[in-house]
Structure 1
């Protein structure tokens, strides 16, 4: 049997061990500086037990079609549906509101949903495992089918028309999410340089249709059963 010679700190194997430790430290440092992994949006969301979209008074009302209403201007007037949505989030979801209105215009008759008070930024941090789980739970609830198999049932009944979270984008009528374009490099990869807020890694953006913002969709019309 061959016995390996002892490894001295200043000998060849000692130097190899030191190099290995340096490589490991560099790899760990790289992992710490990389952005959080993009949200794993599934192609299809499964049904969720206790989905409010299945509640009797809500389910009996006609289900809204999937529509997207673009924003065109700045309007400070509070929207009753957005006020109701923030209240529902406060009662049912971990996190806190970072606000709904800010005047963001992109051109003539083109603006952010925030400009019309039809979007809320809900603070959850993708770097926190607990916050990530809560964000996944909320998105899964909004986009789950109801007991009749209708996709995105709660989102449609609330009037939710878009969700942005952790470099992923979902809009009404989309079967699956897209990568959020401000996060991407020219080659279509997730950029390491995009900041957390632009990437929506420190909040979920939830936007409402005109009917949802006016509190005229079935979820809100059904009353306090939700």
Structure 2
């Protein structure tokens, strides 16, 4: 028996249920047994791709999609596989950005149906390290549609869901994230996770929107109305309402907001730290998850900043002081006559009340900061 026949024999054990119902249930197959050739990977893996719908029209075949089509053809024999679509045809579609593939299997053909089940089981299988949906994530897939069902990375916990519209009974539709389409995920990078791509946030009027991924990624509305300030840091987004309430979300752009504190005048995010200056000028910082408790720091605070390892404040009396390490460390005074403070790595920058700028580099006990030759204004 040929390798392909062995593969089909394994996949056809699932075929009865598939053709008897339009529902495609894959949860009973924890490991793929017959599938495309797969490189060896370590335990590090990509996160689930966020939903990023087509919002430009540049129908050029992206290299990750081309390589995935070639992999399917190598495994299952040549099938039609369209990637691009003209801008004037239909509505929103990642085909118009060259990051979708229609790969033609026919559900009424037993061999095609078995091969379709095979590739989908492979994509959604759990790997040897316990990573769920491992190949789906490594390839940077966003969602797939097949036989009146859709499976979306940003709704992984929901599994297969009914799909209304084109029944997709003669092809599987694969939509890729930009990272997958541009070969930036672990499937294409020798098993190293794709570098974290920063988020961009904008405040339009009083509503916050954020995008992540490539510069052509779409904006995702985060919070609408009454925003005084927002910050992003890593996977966290924080908003301060005009009423003084701080809310933070952690994870994907679709996570829910977690209220943090009221009576807040200013806040900063840094790693797993959140710092707040209250309207009564007291400073508190929490470290850990969003449900961690606040640790009181100091009062009479006019300005503050923080990093994952340092907290710096300017008191109402103009004293710049910084602590380093855990939240219970002692303050180390830096200089007087301060109006503003900024921290970055091992550097402390202070704008004095007379407009001059001073910076020190190194530990907190390093020689005092040198005076800048130029005056500085707050930005």
TM-score above 0.5, yes or no: yes
SS of structure 2 residue aligned to 1:132 = helix
Q: What CA deviation, in whole Å up to 9, does each residue of 1:117-176 have, x standing for no partner? A: 111111110001111111001100000011011111001111111111000000103231
What number of residue pairs does the alignment pair up? 168
Secondary structure (helix, strand or coil) at the match of 1:221 reads coil
Partner of 1:47: 31
Whole-angstrom distance in 1 between the partners of 2:119 and 2:43? 23
Cα distance in 2 between the residues matched to 1:39 and 1:132: 13
Answer yes or no: is the 8 Å Cα contact 1:95–1:124 preserved in 2: no
Q: Match for 1:91 among 74, 92, 105?
A: 74
2:58 paired with 1:81: no
**Partner of 1:70 in structure 2?**
53
User: How far 1:207 moved relative to its partner?
Assistant: 1.1
Of stretches 123-132 and 71-80 in structure 1, the one that deviates more from structure 2 is: 71-80
Structure 1 residues 24-63: aligned runs within 5 Å: 37-43=21-27, 45-49=29-33, 55-56=39-40, 59-60=41-42, 62-63=44-45
RMSD between aligned residues:
2.4
Q: CA deviation at 1:44?
A: 5.6
| Contact kept in structure 2, 1:48 and 1:141, CA below 8 Å | yes
Is the Cα–Cα contact under 8 Å of residues 120 and 205 in structure 1 kept in the other structure? yes
1:165-190 superposed Cα distances (whole Å, 9 cap, x missing partner):
000000103231100022xxxxxxxx
Structure 1 contact 160–209 (Cα < 8 Å) conserved? yes
Out of 168, 171, 174, the position equivalent to 2:152 is: 171
1:220 paired to 2:188: yes
Query: Does the residue aligned with 1:85 lie in a helix, a strand or coil?
Result: helix
User: How many Å apart are 1:220 and its aligned residue?
Assistant: 1.1
Counterparts in 2 of 1:118 and 1:36: CA distance versus 1, 3 Å: farther
Q: The residue matched to 2:123 in structure 1 has which SS?
A: helix
Within 5 A, what are the aligned runs for 1:105-116? 106=91, 111-116=92-97
> What does residue 162 of structure 1 align with?
143
Aligned partner of 2:368 in structure 1 is none
Instruction: Kindly indicate whether the alpha-carbon contact (under 8 Å) linking 1:162 and 1:208 is maintained by their aligned counterparts in 2.
Output: yes
Question: TM-score, normalised to structure 2's length?
Answer: 0.41
Could you say what secondary structure the match of 1:163 adopts?
A: strand
Question: Higher relative contact order at CA 8 Å, sep ≥6: structure 1 or structure 2?
Answer: 1
Superposed counterparts of 1:185-224, under 5 Å: 198-222=166-190
Q: 1:62 to 1:121 in 2, by over 3 A?
A: same
Q: Distance in 2 between matches of 1:87 and 1:210?
A: 19
CA distance in structure 2 between the aligned counterparts of 1:144 and 1:222, rounded to whole angstroms: 20
Offset at residue 52 of structure 1 (A): 6.9
Higher helix residue share = 1
Q: Quick check: 2:26–2:121 contact (8 Å CA) kept in 1?
A: no
CA separation of 1:159/1:166 partners in 2, compared to 1, >3 Å: closer, same or farther?
A: same
3-state SS of the aligned residue for 1:218?
Answer: coil
C-alpha distance in structure 2 between counterparts of 1:70 and 1:145, whole Å: 27
Deviation at 1:105, TM superposition (A): 6.0
Answer whether contact 1:95 1:123 (CA < 8 A) is retained. Answer: no
Higher strand share: 2
* Map of 1:131 onto structure 2: 112
When the two structures are superposed, what TM-score results if normalisation uses the length of structure 1? 0.67
- Taking the aligned partners of 1:132 and 1:83, their CA distance within structure 2 comes to 22
Unaligned runs of 5+ in 1: 1-34, 183-197
CA shift, 1:213, in A, is 0.3
